[in-house]
Structure 1
Amino acid sequence: MGSNGNLPFMPSRFEHRATFAAPADDVFLTLVDEAFLIARLRDIGGKGAALLDHRIEGDNAAYRLRQGVDASKLPGAVKSILNGDLVVEREERWHGLETAGKATINGVPAHITSRGRLTGRGSGTELVISAEVKVGIPLIGGKIEKVVAEQVTKLLAAEAEYAEKWLAERA
């Protein structure tokens, strides 16, 4: 039972796939590169986007970033529970070609967790990310989860497209 006496909250799950023409090691080095992350945030990170922390040690990398969405661009279900802009803080930890991530959303009892893997496919690479969104708000939490999952999927697609372009320009 959930804390409110109802059935437990069931998170929304989704999967995102992206392909790159470059080898997996090159994709990894791009995705964790500080200059790449700063440029990506500047170009598609939204309002108040910033790289908050960045570390690389061998084939391990960790970074934390902030992204924002202007309140005027938010769906009604999200606007109804948020005062102002949507601010997401994301953390990614890479261990070789595998990643684990988490994100929180300001002012909302919500979190996103993810796991991903880069896999060589011929001369290219496939990135598969499995994620889960959980919003702990009775009655409307599930609706908000679906909106968040949809928006995160669009963001991941835009980030993959940005990475593919970055890689092609530097090949």
Structure 2
Amino acid sequence: MARRLSYSARFTEPAEKLFQAQSTLKYWEDMMAGFQMISPHCEVDSFVSDETGMRVVLKQTIGRHQLPPLAQTVLMKDMVITREESFGAFDPDLTKGDYTASIPAGPGSLNGWQELVPTETGCTIRKTTEVKVFIPFINGKLEQLMLVNLVNLFRAEAEYAADWVKKNL
């Protein structure tokens, strides 16, 4: 059975500025440079931004020794994560997008959708994630571990986004 997580990040910046930031290659390159403190192999694999929206593919390698013991029982070598994230064309009322993360020969899937909505004090990005692990007996524990780590990632990325917008836009 898949597990689902909803997460909202609130910003004081208007939705248009958050969208503008995420539609800029430098935003993603700076994010990957920051991730290199944790994992030395992080890169923007591809990036497209035009009138139809934006799409970015990120690749990050996490050393097996950095993984929690439960994950080490499943993965016998470094974990290479390919993450795709997109937003459609900017809509001042509601901009929709999605995201996925995959691991070659990984034991599950991670898919989600996101919405960028204006608020009276700025904007909110709502992310809804569904995680499914296909290993009997430990699937629930791995799914929960993934979701906990995802909340930490979303929180750190929200702080990064707010800071990047203030410094660059």
| TM-score, normalized by the shorter chain, greater than 0.5 | yes
How many residues get paired? 162
Give 2:12's aligned residue: 21
Matched, 1:107 2:105: yes
CA RMSD of aligned residues (A): 1.4
Aligned partner of 1:60 among 48, 53, 67: 53
Residues in 1 aligned to 2:103 and 2:146: alpha-carbon distance in whole angstroms = 10
Give 1:71's aligned residue: 64
Aligned partner of 1:159 among 146, 157, 160: 157
Contact kept? 1:13, 1:130, Cα under 8 Å: yes
Residues in 2 aligned to 1:116 and 1:86: alpha-carbon distance in whole angstroms = 25
Give 2:33's aligned residue: 42
Q: In the alignment, residue 47 of structure 1 is paired with which amino acid?
A: P
Deviation, structure 1 residue 59:
4.4
Q: In the alignment, residue 42 of structure 1 is paired with which amino acid?
A: A
TM-score between the two structures when normalised by the length of structure 1 = 0.89
Deviation, structure 1 residue 153:
1.3
Structure 1 outlier segments of 4+, above 3 Å: none
What SS is found at the alignment partner of 1:41?
A: helix
- Structure 1's unaligned 5+ residue stretches are 1-9
TM-score between the two structures when normalised by the length of structure 2 = 0.89
Deviations 1:109-166 (A, max 9, x none): 2111011111111241111100011111111111111111111111111111101101
